Amino acid sequence: MIYKVISKLLYNRLSVTLPDIVHENQGVFIKGRSILENILICQDIVKLYNRAAVSPRCLFKIGLQKAYDTVEWDFVENLLLGLKFRTIFCQQVMACIKTTSFTLSLNGSNFGYFNGQRELKLFHLMFADDLLLFCNGNALSVMLLLRALSTFSKASGLSMNCSKSEDTRLGEKKLSYAGRLTLINSVLNSLYSYWSNIFILPKSIIRRIEAICRNYLWDGSAEYHRVPLVGWDTITLPKIEGGLGIKKAEVWNVAIVAKLVDWIYSKAGSPPIDAAWTWKSICKVKELMKDAYTDGKWQPNLKGYTVRSGYDWLRLHQNKPWWYNTVWNSWNVPKHAFITWLIMHIGMNTREKLYRFGCCSTDACCICENATEIQPHLFFEYDYSKAVVALIQYWCGAFISMSGAMAGGYGNVGGKLKQQVPAIILTACIYNICAQRNSPRINGILMVPSLVAQKIIEGVRQIIKFKCNAKMSRRDEVWLDK
Ligand SMILES: [Zn+2]
């Protein structure tokens, strides 16, 4: 604790002078500097590299290996003395680094003491561990640069990190639609939101990212050339407005970069005519957001600007669909919810649709082959699905229909269950009938309605028992098990 107080005091005193002693080329860790400036400068330099008239140039990107763990303390001391800090201050800093013992506090208990020699975390702030070096592209320049690096490395204890970044691959096994949706929302979203934190991505890259997300959603792979079942504009709406809550890359990108609008306004005027394209495109964001940012202030509904509020300000809006609570009920099995969402958007590839697009030689129903296969025929207006649903209705004591009118008593079921049970049952019916519709083609068999109904009831029972976690009234238990 005392160590923390002392080191904080020393750090506060040091930080006053940091902007003067750390060269302005160091873009991070110093108050008032942004890594963005260095990235933009780098882009401005590199954009000229591929011009034919330019003499050979060389760029090194160097990652320093665990900079904080390997730095030599003598180097730190000499550095501090060399920068003309008072001897007493240098001694205090070095005392903190070299002689302090640390106590490790874990879950409230203290464990032993450590010599503070390589474990110190405070000095992390002083070293950024990535640097770019530019020099002429001839052998002599490169050799001199490497020699300088080597000298620096010996003196400071900092060495170059040559290890390659890890290459992680996703498993080969295909996930369900619902699983893929989760993966898209987490992995791909964070991937592009990382890059779009600073850049307005080129349209071609945005289109490619969206194509990968779209193809992965519908097919589980990056390449897919059929017509998507539901349009991307719909998918990228929030769930409460009928979509899947995947973010629209282009709009999200603008919303993130708009965080910098304050910063852009603080820089004078418009970008120079020969500025890199990135820089110009960031300035365009300022234009896009000009109605949201007036007189140096954000509109009140942007909450002082958050990326989420900015995204909401920029994107399209739709009304809440009537089926929202049914489809996205929190007790639903995710894959049941997804298929039901698809059906609510008339997104299923029925034979009628496939026939119309010339992808199928007949429009007759996959199961009965007696009628045109349109969605209402499958849910639940023809013999097979009607029979399944009739059995479920008999069991639960309520009327089930696609129009959302799920009237009836559900036996004696009450309280919390009353909201969940209708949604669980409807989405389970839709999912299982879809599965049976594909089953003759895939498995060569079609289950009789009574077996399908039994399967659905069994599934519903399991979900309810699992979710209730044995906290169920006797009355509900009787209803569930009958
Ligand atoms: Zn049919």
- 319-349 pLDDT, tens digit each: 999 999 899 999 999 999 999 999 999 988 8
Least confident of 121-125, 225-229, 249-253: 121-125
Please give the distance, rounded to the nearest whole angstrom, from the Cα atom of residue 463 to the centre of ligand 1: 29
User: 90 is written with which tokens?
Assistant: 């240098």
d(CA 95, CA 267): 42
3-state helix, strand, coil in the chain (%, to 5): 55, 10, 40
Please give the distance, rounded to the nearest whole angstrom, from the Cα atom of residue 224 to the centre of ligand 1: 29
Tens digit of each residue's pLDDT (9 = 90 or more) over 24-80: 666 565 666 656 666 666 666 666 666 667 777 777 666 665 554 566 777 778 888
Locus of tokens 């890359």: 249
Q: Are strands 109-115 and 293-294 parallel, antiparallel or unpaired?
A: unpaired
Please give the distance, rounded to the nearest whole angstrom, from the Cα atom of residue 348 to the centre of ligand 1: 15
Please give the distance, rounded to the nearest whole angstrom, from the Cα atom of residue 287 to the centre of ligand 1: 55
Q: What is the pLDDT of residue 267?
A: 62
| Residues in Cβ contact with 90 at an 8 Å cutoff, skipping those fewer than 6 apart | 77, 80, 81
CB atoms within 10 A of CB 50: 7
Please give the distance, rounded to the nearest whole angstrom, from the Cα atom of residue 345 to the centre of ligand 1: 20
Q: Which of 161-165, 248-252, 457-461, 463-467 has the highest mean pLDDT?
A: 457-461
d(CA 25, CA 131): 10
Please give the distance, rounded to the nearest whole angstrom, from the Cα atom of residue 387 to the centre of ligand 1: 12
Please give the distance, rounded to the nearest whole angstrom, from the Cα atom of residue 208 to the centre of ligand 1: 39
Residues measured by CB to lie within 5 Å of ligand 1, the ion: 365, 367-368, 382
d(CA 255, CA 260): 10
Confidence class for position 243, pLDDT limits 50, 70, 90: very high
**Helical packing angle, 383-396 and 449-468, nearest 10°:** 40
Tens digit of each residue's pLDDT (9 = 90 or more) over 420-477: 888 899 999 999 999 998 888 888 888 999 999 999 999 998 888 888 876 777 777 7
Tens digit of each residue's pLDDT (9 = 90 or more) over 112-160: 444 444 433 333 223 345 667 777 777 787 778 778 777 877 777 766 6
**Helical packing angle, 249-257 and 203-219, nearest 10°:** 130
Please give the distance, rounded to the nearest whole angstrom, from the Cα atom of residue 346 to the centre of ligand 1: 17
Please give the distance, rounded to the nearest whole angstrom, from the Cα atom of residue 364 to the centre of ligand 1: 7
Please give the distance, rounded to the nearest whole angstrom, from the Cα atom of residue 371 to the centre of ligand 1: 6
More confident residue, 301 or 379: 379
SS3 101: strand
SS3 150: helix
**What are the helix (H) ranges across 299-408?**
307-314, 324-327, 334-344, 351-356, 375-376, 383-396
Q: What percent of the chain has pLDDT over 90?
A: 18
- Say which amino acid occupies 89: F
Please give the distance, rounded to the nearest whole angstrom, from the Cα atom of residue 400 to the centre of ligand 1: 19
Average pLDDT over residues 224-247: 89
Average pLDDT over residues 362-386: 88
**What are the helix (H) ranges across 101-202?**
139-156, 177-183, 189-195
The answer to whether the CB of 396 falls within 8 A of the CB of 385 is no
- Say which amino acid occupies 379: F
Please give the distance, rounded to the nearest whole angstrom, from the Cα atom of residue 259 to the centre of ligand 1: 54
pTM above 0.75, yes or no: no
Distances (CA, A) of 8 to 4, 14, 147, 373: 6, 10, 37, 72
Which one-letter DSSP state was computed for residue 360?
-
Tens digit of each residue's pLDDT (9 = 90 or more) over 392-430: 988 888 888 887 555 555 555 666 677 788 889 999 999
Q: Are strands 293-294 and 297-298 parallel, antiparallel or unpaired?
A: antiparallel
Please give the distance, rounded to the nearest whole angstrom, from the Cα atom of residue 382 to the centre of ligand 1: 6
